Structure 1
């Protein structure tokens, strides 16, 4: 029997789906490299063990699948009943046995992929609502998942780095982050310049481009995104009171 293919025919959407599935495979590889005992270890996220990260990524797939189901049926199916329910779910998942936790990730990823596969072209524009209350087309669920799996693979803290994330994902993530800063007004006086491996500018610039004397953050794309997501700082800064050290990035989620 021939394998079933995605019903989506838009080339851009097909490429986005591929990137999301590659990210899922990347997370799966980093998870499979961990022994059961190592699941108890710490991560790049405060107060979260690897168990919490895996549980979050697994339940996130189920939550996004609910949005895709909403787009398919027209019946409202929120990601979570409430923020409290989401947090309780993650904390419960972190207590599962190693095999159950691994199965949660595997099965939820497959279920989400199937929901995407079976969504017809005309349904991808149907509006759904995220856990943050944003109304977005169903196509946005692909990026929502892409961001989760690539970044949280790094959060597992067992060898994955931002240099392993594809440049298109990093660029879109940085646009999301700096866009959130701009909306909140927390980017005032902050300018971000992306360099290439030779230290030259790439043309990518974000933040407050009108400031007379900005705090300028400079570095290659992976390092800039690492800093912007609050996961590290291997970049340099110039400007008022920096002394070469980059300040903590503004909150983005």
Structure 2
């Protein structure tokens, strides 16, 4: 699974993704927040509640790394889902304030985490053993993908190349380790290699943005080709 070093540049990448999200949320009304997102069964309020609640959940893993005391991200999936649902119906102003404050606190925590803690071993909700360096990838991924999921004018091609490169590598690493994934090679529109699963299979071509949408389960392969050669992928996460 993808990890990134806890550098000034990594922290700035997460801070910039947060700023883009908060800028996009400016002016949202209650009716907008209660309207549907691009995720089936979730309103924009569900997405915002998830982003707000995810920050302290990831901080629990960072506390685990700092102290050595096991502190799970969530008690279980039911507790996670209940937290999201509980906050989904709040007014827009409350939602936005929550996202902003939680994101600011998370940014402070990562920027002040002691050096040795970054080499500790923790286990996120998804089950893999990793260092807190993976938590930086998870937060960046969630900020960017859910910004698109909110359906507020931010699309796959709006994700900056630096962030998209990290997220695409993370999603590809998931498929490389998952079972039942057919072989394929992924290349961008200029023929540059984006990733490879297995040793054979079809060559899928298109923009990195369209490839990420497809791999993340948000697209059936729009903009990628040849359409007849697109492999059927198992669900991501």
TM-score, with length taken from structure 2:
0.89
1:139 to partner: Cα distance: 2.0
Q: Give deviations 1:7-46, integer Å, cap 9, x for gaps.
A: xxx9862211111111111111122242222111111111
- 1:203: which partner in 2? 193
Matches of 2:216 and 2:5 in 1, distance apart? 29
* Structure 1 residue matching 2:20: 3-state secondary structure: helix
Determine the structure 1 residue equivalent to 2:185.
191
In structure 1, what is the Cα distance between the partners aligned to 2:60 and 2:196?
Answer: 34
Tell me, in whole angstroms, the C-alpha distance in 2 between the residues paired with 1:43 and 1:149: 15
Check conservation: 2:184, 2:231, Cα contact below 8 A: no
Indicate yes or no: 2:208 matched with 1:251. Answer: no
Moved more, 148-157 or 63-72: 63-72
- Tell me how far 1:249 sits from its aligned partner: 4.0
Distance between the aligned counterparts of 2:42 and 2:56, measured in 1?
A: 20
Q: CA deviation at 1:127?
A: 1.7
Alpha-carbon separation, structure 2, partners of 1:115 and 1:107: 12
Map 1:59-138; keep pairs closer than 5 Å.
59-138=53-132
Whether the 8 Å contact between 1:65 and 1:111 is mirrored in structure 2 is no
Shift of 1:247: 5.6
User: Is the contact made by 1:30 and 1:156 (CA closer than 8 Å) also made in structure 2?
Assistant: no
Instruction: Give secondary structure in 2 for the equivalent of 1:16.
Output: helix
2:223 aligns to what? 235
Alignment of 1:2-17 (within 5 A): 13-17=7-11
More helix as a share of residues: 2
Report which of the two has the higher share of strand: 1
Tell me which residue corresponds to 1:3.
none
| Structure 2 gap ranges (5+) | none
- 5+ residue gaps in structure 1? 1-9
Task: Measure, in 1, the Cα distance between the counterparts of 2:14 and 2:45.
Answer: 22
In 1, the alpha carbon distance for the partners of 2:215 and 2:36 equals 21
Q: Does 1:225 align with 2:217?
A: no
String of CA shifts for 1:170-200, please: whole Å, max 9, x gaps. Answer: 22222222222222233324332222xxxx2
Which residue of the partner structure matches residue 23 of structure 1? Answer: 17
Distance (whole Å) between structure 2 residues aligned to residue 172 and residue 187 of structure 1: 21
Cα separation, partners in 2 of 1:250 and 1:173, compared to 1, 3 Å:
farther
Aligned residues: 233
The 10-residue stretch of structure 1 (175-184 or 124-133) with the greater mean CA deviation from structure 2:
175-184
Of the structure 1 ranges 111-120 and 167-176, higher mean CA displacement relative to structure 2 is found in 167-176
Tell me, yes or no, if the aligned pair for 1:69 and 1:115 is still in contact at 8 Å: no
TM-score (norm 1): 0.84
